[in-house]
Amino acid sequence: MSDSLSEEAVKIAYLDGLSSPEKEAIWEAQLRQYLPNLEFVSLLDEAAINADVALVWKPPAGRLAKLKSLKVILSLGQGVDHLFCDPALPTDIPICRIIDPHMSVAMGHWVISCLIDHLRYGPAYRMQQQQHIWQGHDQIDHRGIQVGIYGIGAIGSEVAKMVASLGFSVSGWSRSQKAIADITCYSGRDGFQDMLSNCDYHVCLLPLTEETSGLFDASSFAAMKDSAYFINGGRGGHVQEADLLTAIQSGQISGAALDVFQTEPLPVDDPLWDEPRISIFPHVAAQTEPHTAVRQIAHAIADVLDGKGPANQVTAARGY
């Protein structure tokens, strides 16, 4: 039995931000199962000018505006800030993001691994190993640990549930008030300040918007406990990196695990590399996998070809 969702011819302009021919070939093969009459072209090729669909991550500014036949723009990830930073972005057609449960689980695994690593003195023991020091540290009762998740949307809410299932006390902060079982939910500026002062671990999973840009700055870190640990799997733009480094080196907070940065790849001479209390990851916490995300992308394309509104459409005015 065919898995085809549409027999209609469709041209897809693709760019993954890494110029990876291997990943492009995988996406084309996966999508062809559902859209057999597709033509797959690079977003940067002249042949993309009359494309029906843009499937992209970090396209060059102004490029999408030149594709006059576009019917939908699909982000190759849950974030769409890489699109909205383009002042010429077409906003008169649907813009969609991926909401993949597998990405939520992957992000949960990463957050939990960072949390447990710090809780069980991973950074300290690695430093001791380098210095050949045999010294144990007292085990901490995790039941008294307060974990704050900033951003409890599609990914953050699932991460919060995963962390709570391990017995941690979990709070969540969002733009608008939410209700999630076993999670203490906050919203607004007062709620943000309450989370900053009360939590032991601070996990940023927010979308990057004008409201959240630079949210974690010197004043935010100063409001945290001096034992606090910061984990960022959201976007580098959420954090004033110089303020974070100062907060750690001054003892204001105990350290950080960072998967995202203001500049990526992180420059080789960036001082964040050399701070032993910071664990650095190369934007790998939750990656888009074609075999788990392809069906929803194919459905979105088929819906647009049929004149329907696609799922997971974002609001331009809100930025996500």
Catalytic residue flag (residue 291): no
Q: Which residues of the chain have pLDDT under 50?
A: 1
For the chain, how are helix, strand and coil distributed in percent, rounded to 5?
35, 20, 45
| Catalytic site residue from 102, 283, 295, 299 | 283
Provide the whole-model pTM: 0.91
Distance between CA atoms of residues 182 and 126, nearest Å: 34
| Catalytic site residue from 118, 235, 238, 277 | 235
Residue intervals of the chain classified under CATH 3.40.50.720 are 10-100+288-305, 101-280
**Which pLDDT value is given to residue 18?**
66
Helix axes 101-119, 154-164, angle to 10 degrees: 40
**Which pLDDT value is given to residue 6?**
87
What is the enclosing helix (H) or strand (E) of 304? helix 290-305
* 3-state SS class at 27: helix
Superfamily in which the 10-100+288-305 domain is placed by CATH: NAD(P)-binding Rossmann-like Domain (3.40.50.720)
Pick the CATH number of 101-280 from 1.20.1250.20, 1.20.140.10, 1.20.210.10, 3.40.50.720: 3.40.50.720
Distance between CA atoms of residues 34 and 5, nearest Å: 5
**Which pLDDT value is given to residue 19?**
64
Whole-Å CA distances, 253 to 102, 153, 181, 227, 230: 32, 26, 30, 5, 8
Instruction: Give the pair of three-digit tokens for residue 75.
Output: 């982000």
Catalytic residue flag (residue 283): yes
Q: 154-203: per-residue pLDDT in tens?
A: 999 999 999 999 999 999 999 899 999 999 999 999 999 999 999 999 99
Q: 132-162: per-residue pLDDT in tens?
A: 999 999 999 998 899 999 999 999 999 999 9
